[in-house]
Structure 1
Amino acid sequence: MNDHTPQAPPSPDLWATIDTLWEWLDSHRPVEGREDALLRILKLSEEVGEVAQAVIGATGQNPRKGVTHTWDDVQSELCDVVITALVALRTLTPEAREVFARHLERVTRRSTARSAPADVPRPSL
């Protein structure tokens, strides 16, 4: 049987790439210490704003401007949010991979848990 389903290209190791970006940023930072970490966290707000701008542009919600973005632009901006968040987490702790994995596990467990009957208390996570 000949399968013509396109295969996704191999992805780079996410955390190795995040470490590389963090190292590059760390060697090019204009401020030191706590301010650097705070600014990297604030960068998330800027990136989220760019997602909003792209959605507004993709839907043409600004009648003065019309359609100015594509849904591919929205996807790219969402990726920038994820990258920025992971680099900010890496800035806060060298154990970012483990912190994220534990948190993702808790959220997944909480989100996919079956609903307990009303009379049975659910453990809080």
Structure 2
Amino acid sequence: MTEIRTEGIAALAAFLNAANGTDQSEMTMQMLKLTEEAGEVAGAWIGYTGQNPRKGQTHTLEDVLSELADVAITAMVGIARLGGDPGVVVGGKVAVMEERYAQLEVAE
């Protein structure tokens, strides 16, 4: 199994920075790309569940997982393009969430 390589995320960010620049307009497009990718997750989920009776089931669970990965990658590239370290930023956020959820009681 391949794990996330932050070097790969940094390389994607560097490529986009070189190709498209880093002005505010370009960074806005990077943020909007997240919305586009999230919409693709929604479409894949609708297709997986067969929610549209006219079309039926059009996607697989693997399609949904792939689209979710696109969202995560796009977010990490955005973090890198803004000068953050995706491993540190995401890792820090996971630690905060782990602490928050560890304090919750789960009804059994």
How far off is 1:104 after superposition? Answer: 2.0
1-structure distance, mates of 2:49, 2:41: 12
Q: Distance in 1 between matches of 2:31 and 2:6?
A: 18
Partner in structure 1 of residue 79 of structure 2 = 89
Structure 1 position 32, deviation (Å):
4.3
Match of 1:6 in 2: none
The structure 1 residue matched to 2:61, chosen from 71, 77, 88, is: 71
SS of the residue 2:47 aligns to: helix
Q: What TM-score comes out, normalization by structure 2 length?
A: 0.84
Structure possessing the higher radius of gyration over alpha carbons: 1
Which fold has the larger relative contact order, with Cα–Cα distance below 8 Å and residues 6 or more apart in sequence? 2
User: Structure 1: where are the runs of 5+ without partners?
Assistant: 1-8, 116-125
Alignment correspondent of 1:121: none
Residues 14, 81 of structure 2: 8 Å contact kept: no
Alignment-derived partner of residue 49 in structure 1:
39
Gaps of 5+ in 2: none
Identity among equivalent positions (%) equals: 38
Deviation beyond 4 Å, 4+ runs, structure 1: none
Residue pairs, 1:99-110, within 5 angstroms:
99-110=89-100
Task: Confirm whether residue 22 of structure 1 aligns to residue 18 of structure 2.
Answer: no
SS state of the match for residue 62, structure 1? coil
CA RMSD, 1 decimal: 1.8
* Alignment: residue pair count: 105
Whole-Å separation in 1 of the counterparts to 2:96 and 2:58: 39
| Larger helix percent | 2
1:40 corresponds to which residue? 30
**Counterparts of 1:106 and 1:42, CA distance in 2:** 26
- What TM-score do you get using the length of structure 1 for normalisation? 0.74
